[in-house]
Amino acid sequence: MVVQHTEGEANTSAARAEWDAREGDGRARDLLGRDAGAFLHQSLSSPCVATIAKAEGIWIEDVAGRRYMDFHGNSVHHVGYGHPRLVAAIKEQLDALSFSPRRFTNDVSVALAERLGAIAPGDLGKVLFTTGGSDANEVALRLARAATGRFKTLSFWDSFHGAGFGAASVGGEATFRSHIAGPLLPGAEHVAPFHCYHCAYGHPGPQNCGLACASMVDYVLGREGDVAAVIAEPMRAVPVVPPPGYWQAVRAACNRHGALLIMDEIPTGLGKTGEMFAFQHDGIVPDIVTLGKALGGGILPIAAVVARRDLDVAGDFALGHYTHEKNPVTARAALTTLDIIEEEGLVERAARLGTRAMDRLRDTLRDQAMVGDIRGRGLMFGVEIVTDRDTRAPDPARAEAIYYACLAEGLSFKISAGNVLTLSPPLTIAEADLDAALGIVETAIRDQAG
């Protein structure tokens, strides 16, 4: 198990110290010490604060044998960990064809490209594979430049699109930008994300901004005049859901000003939100979509760029040129993952279970003043912990205390934005396990209320 912390969380808090004292184990401490000694240190990753020895289904297990329901999974575990059908398919592919040099094609990679083109809406039908989501976004940005003859981008503060220089430039998280000496990618313009109180939370009234956030995108596109693409997450994995009409307005602005719309579906795609693609909730089709994380079934790394067919304009130069661009093993993992999602009805299941979970939490926690909002789509939802429900002032200390109380009861998840309990279980989770996890969260919140 790896406990994830967001920027600004106190790594030496009382709740963390209590957890370390209670859960300390000689084997774990030895492994953590080796980790700290071997890896370059960086925020959110190394050194780690816990261990993992086994992952199966919705469960992870540490080296001391403690088991936790994993409601984070870095967004890779849509089909659960170690799905037997997926493991068998990968083993079979290893025996049949384990690698393909990039200039040679193979049936399984072509079949995956065709499959992604078939499930994507509109004319999204041309594909390129990479080994990770950051690279997929870099390819999308290169393609946008090639197709438009422009170099500028418009993206959002607080967004995340990867750790490469280009991806970090269009991203808006300080963790991936502030340490870099010197300039990032030129022409990377940013605007405020959709997160105003009245708009994002659906509170009508005289202060309603009337989608001013979308109007700002239109304004900047018009003022700059030479933006190649808007790149964005259709729903922020924090999670934050866009207000109704937001993406239709941004799509229209892109059309008006000749900018492409790139949707980064790396954490949200492949059914997590109750639609195959999160942007389908908003009734739009982007020009380019990027996929990753869960595409490899929680076992192998693979990501994809899926673009409009008429954007296939870069044949004279390399867009990605990755050694594992047509790796048959990762392609087999992705194809099998798509089969599992479709044949087990996991998209519809995520929609149903997610609605049920959020309805339950809204009912059981409606009297808890520390709960500012419960929001999300499908099986990506969050509980906002605040000091005051009216002002929504964040309460990170209480959120962390709730987190460690849940961890002690066998539930692991992520705290986002410092104060949002972000719950994102596998789409395969049994209803009884989901109910048990929600009960753990409810009890921890009530206990904090005193």
pLDDT number for residue 175? 76
- Whether 259 and 353 map to the same domain: the answer is no
Q: Give the number of other Cβ atoms within 10 Å of residue 158's Cβ.
A: 17
Q: What is the pLDDT of residue 195?
A: 75
User: Is position 6 within any domain?
Assistant: no
What is the pLDDT at residue 6? 40
Among 294, 328, 343, the domain-final residue is 343
Same domain, 161 and 228: yes
Residue 20 in domain: yes
Beta-carbon count within 10 A of 70 CB: 25
Could you tell me the pLDDT band of residue 11, with boundaries at 50, 70 and 90? Answer: very low
3 lies in a domain?
Answer: no
**pLDDT score, position 429:** 98
Report the side by side order of strands in the sheet with 54-56.
54-56, 59-61, 67-70, 411-412
When pLDDT is cut at 50, 70 and 90, the band that residue 132 belongs to is very high
Is 132 inside any structural domain?
A: yes
Mean pLDDT of the chain, nearest integer: 91
pLDDT tens readout for residues 176-211:
777 776 788 899 999 999 876 555 444 544 345 778
Do both 279 and 175 map to the same domain? yes
Angle between helices 431-449 and 396-408 (to 10 degrees): 130
Q: Look up the domain containing 322 and give its range.
A: 84-343
Neighbour-count burial of 363, counting CB atoms closer than 10 A to its CB (0-12 exposed, 13-18 middle, 19+ buried): exposed
| Count, residues in the chain | 450
Same domain, 194 and 175: yes
| Cβ count near 115 (within 10 Å) | 17
To which H or E segment does residue 434 belong? helix 431-449
Which pLDDT score is estimated for 211?
A: 87
Domain count, the chain: 2
**CATH code, 173:** 3.40.640.10
Instruction: Give the residues across from 229 on adjacent strands.
Output: 153, 260
Higher confidence at residue 180 or residue 11? 180
Report the range out of 3-12, 18-27, 129-138 with the highest average pLDDT: 129-138
8 within domain boundaries = no
> Mind listing the pLDDT tens digit for each residue in 214-255?
999 999 999 999 999 999 999 998 899 999 999 999 999 999
Residues 59 and 169 grouped into a single domain: no
- Residue that is last in its domain, among 325, 343, 361: 343
Question: Which of 318, 343, 368 is the C-terminal boundary of a domain?
Answer: 343
Q: 317 or 119: whose pLDDT is higher?
A: 119
| Residues 350 and 339 placed together within one structural domain of the fold | no
Q: State if pTM tops 0.75.
A: yes
CATH label of the domain that carries residue 443: 3.90.1150.10
Q: Cα separation of 131 and 302, whole Å?
A: 4
